[in-house]
């Protein structure tokens, strides 16, 4: 749920004290002995910087802080020990004795969804099913909103399932807002006191008189902690929500849910901060565990502007595209590096802070990308670049889209038809929404089962691209993502990604020097790119026992590159020879001591220059140091490396000898 800093009556000089503003209520004043301890925020430290070593005293302070955090979290878990848990057997016995309530809710659901289904049948009979799809999708969104929290969440879930819903439904349901009215503030404040076993006056010096945000499961207040003066966002669970959702789940049957969501959300925030807040441009609020329970979550207040409020962001001297790009890079780390990601990054959950940081809020909906799928997604991008549609279709096994017994051969033509039409230029120029919509149409035609994690990935990146398009209609999320993919392909030692890199660089038995240069150019745009990490893994693969096929290709390319250096240098030298010397020594031969066509000469020079550019890119890397070549030289001293060098030299000798013989016999060479 988004929390945005707004002016609020309780923060003015004329703010009414809590004790007077809430005269109808009596504070219990009960203070649990456990919560008399100094409350601690869940401060998760970023990994230490090598350039900033810690002394013993700072380590002791950090250790004590973490110990206090764990104790505070344990107290929060103790408060949540009695949180409601949905159990089909127990709830069946409860609602079995309340038939009137069950029948009333059943009729409400059946009438709402039944009338919608009838409209679909009439549309189909009248031949306007596709024409009215957008209208019906909007109606379904409104129905889910009226039916309450359970169906709001159901609609949000369907908005991530392109294998179930057509594109129009995906778009409408993705806009589904938790548009429920707020509940009385008196009930919210009573819930805080009851859950924390403390009076409001003992916790807060002030609190907003009304919620600053509300959703289906709860609402948020802005408050100031009494003990420290820190501003916090206090999320309070909607009363009787267990009964409302429990009845729906009883009717749906077979589902299992617990109601300690706020405690889980706090733990999600702590884990997210530990993984991703090491970057200086990312902000994740702290959790105050001593003021958190199953129904109350207290987190650090973050001042900021919603990411879709472009004018407000620019007034702070910030750029929307910079913030969106930060979000994309962080999302890629979430999705493909650690696998733990924020699954609901809508504009209200992403704030631009005055310091230019991107703040993530609301950690109630999180998901994880399986480790195998992380590499498979990057490989999928490689296959897309190569337009290898058969390999793309096979990727769906690893991505868990298809069961192993499904034949992918009918899928290949559908992928080819869509992508050959979409990829008029390059993958990086492809609009991500176009890609998602087109791929969704393909998935809709075949027996795909899109895993929840993948659907949420598509949703996350689509939201970020949508935010960027407000500022720049030509923005392409795939282009912004390419530096990350390039860095991972060049530096990740994962065997799957090593194979993907080789597959990308070698095609039809030839090395694609242009692609390597492009990868280095793009990879250097990622601030975490390391030239050292890019060089060593490739050499290890090349010299491994299983690398014979690759070595054969590399030998061929090494011979061509060395020949290009040798002959292009000879050609350049010959051009500087005076004309009378050319006539005297070479009988005026335009090519001098070698015979090459003009095209071949130009290709040789271009190859040489390209290799020089690639080496220059490596040298210009921020972490490039001649010392990084030492471990590479150690690798090159291995027996396999020496044998590889001998094979390269043998190939060069044969090529140059052949050219010399052609020169003697005056036989023109063919372009290679």
Judged against a pLDDT cut of 60, whether residue 500 lies above it is answered with yes
Would you tell me how many other CB atoms lie within 10 Å of the CB of residue 534?
23
Q: Which stretch of 153-162, 464-473, 581-590 has the lowest confidence by average pLDDT?
A: 581-590
pLDDT at 253: 57
In whole angstroms, give the CA distance from residue 327 to residue 46: 18
Q: What is the dihedral of CA 633, 634, 640, 642, to 10 degrees?
A: 50
pLDDT at 255: 44
pLDDT at 580: 52
pLDDT per position as a tens digit, 222-279: 999 998 999 999 999 988 777 667 677 666 654 444 456 788 899 999 999 999 988 8
In whole angstroms, give the CA distance from residue 321 to residue 473: 11
80 Cβ neighbours under 8 A, 6+ residues apart: 260, 263, 293, 294
3-state secondary structure of 511: strand
Spans of all domains in the chain: 88-174, 305-508, 530-665
Q: What is the mean pLDDT of the chain?
A: 73
| Element (DSSP H or E) covering residue 232 | strand 231-237
pLDDT at 10: 40
User: Which is more confidently placed, 82 or 376?
Assistant: 376
In whole angstroms, give the CA distance from residue 127 to residue 121: 10
3-state secondary structure 471-492: HCCCCCHHHHHHHHHHHHHHHC
| Element (DSSP H or E) covering residue 414 | helix 411-422
Helix axes 133-147, 149-158, angle to 10 degrees: 150
pLDDT per position as a tens digit, 520-578: 777 666 766 666 666 666 666 555 665 555 556 555 556 555 656 566 666 666 566 56
- Report, as an integer, the average pLDDT of 650-671: 52
Task: Tokens 């959790």: give the residue.
Answer: 287
pTM given for the model: 0.67
**Residues forming a β-bridge with 232:** 223, 300
Would you tell me how many other CB atoms lie within 10 Å of the CB of residue 75?
19
pLDDT at 657: 56
Catalytic residues: 344
In whole angstroms, give the CA distance from residue 662 to residue 341: 62
Q: Which of 213, 247, 230 is nearest to 107 (CA)?
A: 247
pLDDT per position as a tens digit, 328-353: 889 989 988 899 999 888 777 899 99
Does residue 422 contact residue 441 with C-beta atoms inside 8 Å? no
pLDDT at 36: 33
| Element (DSSP H or E) covering residue 306 | strand 305-306
Does residue 223 contact residue 155 with C-beta atoms inside 8 Å? no
Does residue 353 contact residue 302 with C-beta atoms inside 8 Å? yes
* Parallel, antiparallel or unpaired: strands 358-360 and 282-283: parallel
In whole angstroms, give the CA distance from residue 310 to residue 632: 49
Q: Which stretch of 83-92, 161-170, 299-308, 421-430 has the lowest confidence by average pLDDT?
A: 83-92
pLDDT per position as a tens digit, 391-406: 899 998 888 888 888 8
Judged against a pLDDT cut of 90, whether residue 497 lies above it is answered with no
**Residues forming a β-bridge with 366:** 342
Does residue 162 contact residue 258 with C-beta atoms inside 8 Å? no
Candidate ranges 75-89, 296-310, 589-603; pick with highest mean pLDDT: 296-310
Would you tell me how many other CB atoms lie within 10 Å of the CB of residue 430?
20
pLDDT at 447: 81
pLDDT at 631: 47
CA dist 168 to 164, 547, 576, Å? Answer: 12, 49, 68
pLDDT at 460: 79
In whole angstroms, give the CA distance from residue 476 to residue 473: 9
Helix axes 531-542, 548-575, angle to 10 degrees: 120
Candidate ranges 27-36, 288-297, 423-432; pick with highest mean pLDDT: 288-297
The fraction of the chain above a pLDDT of 70, given in percent, is 57
In whole angstroms, give the CA distance from residue 551 to residue 640: 10
Candidate ranges 264-273, 308-317, 424-433, 515-524; pick with highest mean pLDDT: 264-273
pLDDT per position as a tens digit, 573-625: 656 656 655 555 455 554 555 555 566 666 666 666 666 666 666 666 555 55
């Amino acid at each position: 749920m988004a929390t945005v800093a707004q002016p609020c009556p309780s923060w003015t000089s004329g703010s009414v004290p809590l004790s007077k503003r809430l005269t109808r209520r009596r504070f219990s004043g009960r203070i649990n002995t456990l919560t008399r301890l100094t409350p601690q925020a869940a401060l998760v430290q970023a990994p230490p910087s090598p350039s900033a070593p810690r002394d013993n005293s700072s380590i002791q302070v950090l250790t004590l802080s973490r110990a206090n955090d764990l104790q505070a979290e344990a107290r929060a878990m103790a408060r949540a020990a009695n949180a409601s848990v949905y159990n089909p057997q127990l709830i069946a016995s409860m609602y079995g004795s309340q038939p009137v309530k069950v029948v009333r809710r059943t009729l409400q659901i059946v009438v709402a969804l039944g009338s919608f289904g009838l409209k679909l049948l009439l549309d189909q009979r009248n031949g306007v099913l596709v024409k009215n799809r957008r209208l019906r999708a909007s109606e379904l969104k409104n129905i889910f909103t009226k039916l309450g929290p359970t169906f709001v969440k159901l609609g949000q879930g369907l908005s991530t399932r392109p294998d179930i819903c057509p594109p129009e439904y995906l778009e409408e349901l993705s806009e589904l807002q938790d548009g429920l009215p707020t509940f009385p503030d008196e009930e919210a404040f009573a819930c805080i006191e009851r859950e924390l076993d403390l009076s409001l006056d003992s916790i807060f010096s002030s609190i907003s008189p009304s919620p600053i945000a509300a959703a289906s499961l709860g609402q948020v207040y802005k408050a100031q902690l009494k003990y420290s003066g820190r501003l916090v966002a206090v999320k309070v669970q909607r009363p009787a929500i267990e009964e409302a959702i429990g009845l729906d789940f009883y009717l749906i049957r077979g589902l299992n849910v617990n109601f300690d969501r706020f405690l889980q959300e706090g733990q999600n925030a702590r884990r997210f901060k530990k993984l991703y807040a090491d970057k200086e441009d990312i902000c994740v609020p702290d959790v105050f565990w001593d003021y958190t329970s199953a129904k109350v979550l207290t987190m650090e207040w973050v001042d900021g502007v919603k990411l879709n409020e472009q004018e407000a962001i620019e007034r702070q001297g910030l750029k929307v595209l910079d913030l969106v790009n930060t979000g994309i890079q962080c999302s890629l780390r979430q999705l493909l590096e650690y696998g733990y990601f924020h699954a609901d990054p809508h504009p209200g959950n992403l704030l631009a802070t005055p310091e230019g940081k991107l703040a993530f809020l609301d950690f109630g909906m999180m998901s994880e990308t399986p480790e195998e799928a992380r590499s498979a997604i990057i490989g999928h991008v490689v296959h897309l670049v190569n337009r290898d549609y058969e390999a793309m279709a096979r990727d769906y096994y690893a991505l868990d889209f298809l069961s192993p017994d499904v034949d992918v051969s009918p899928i290949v033509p559908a992928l080819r038809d869509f992508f050959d039409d979409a990829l008029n230029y390059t993958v990086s120029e492809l609009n991500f929404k176009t890609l998602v919509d087109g791929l969704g149409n393909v998935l809709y035609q075949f027996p795909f089962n899109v895993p929840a994690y993948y659907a949420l990935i598509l949703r996350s990146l689509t939201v970020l691209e949508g935010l960027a398009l407000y500022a720049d209609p030509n923005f392409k999320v795939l282009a912004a993502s390419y530096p990350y993919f390039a860095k991972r392909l060049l530096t990740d030692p994962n065997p799957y990604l090593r194979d993907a890199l080789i597959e990308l660089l070698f095609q039809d038995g030839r090395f694609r020097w242009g692609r390597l240069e492009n990868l280095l150019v793009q990879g250097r745009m990622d601030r975490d790119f390391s030239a050292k990490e890019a060089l060593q893994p490739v050499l290890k693969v090349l010299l491994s026992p299983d690398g014979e096929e690759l070595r054969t290709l590399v030998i061929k390319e090494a011979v061509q590159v060395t020949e290009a250096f040798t002959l292009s240098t000879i050609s350049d030298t010959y051009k500087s020879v005076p004309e009378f010397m050319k006539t005297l020594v070479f009988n005026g031969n335009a090519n001098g001591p070698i015979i090459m066509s003009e095209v071949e000469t130009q290709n040789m020079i271009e190859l040489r220059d390209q290799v020089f550019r690639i080496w220059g890119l490596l040298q210009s890397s921020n972490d490039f140091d001649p010392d990084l070549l030492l471990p590479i030289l150690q690798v090159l001293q291995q027996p396999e490396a020496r044998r590889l060098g001998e094979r390269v030299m043998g190939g060069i000798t044969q090529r140059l000898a052949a050219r010399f013989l052609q020169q003697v016999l005056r036989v023109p060479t063919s372009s290679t």
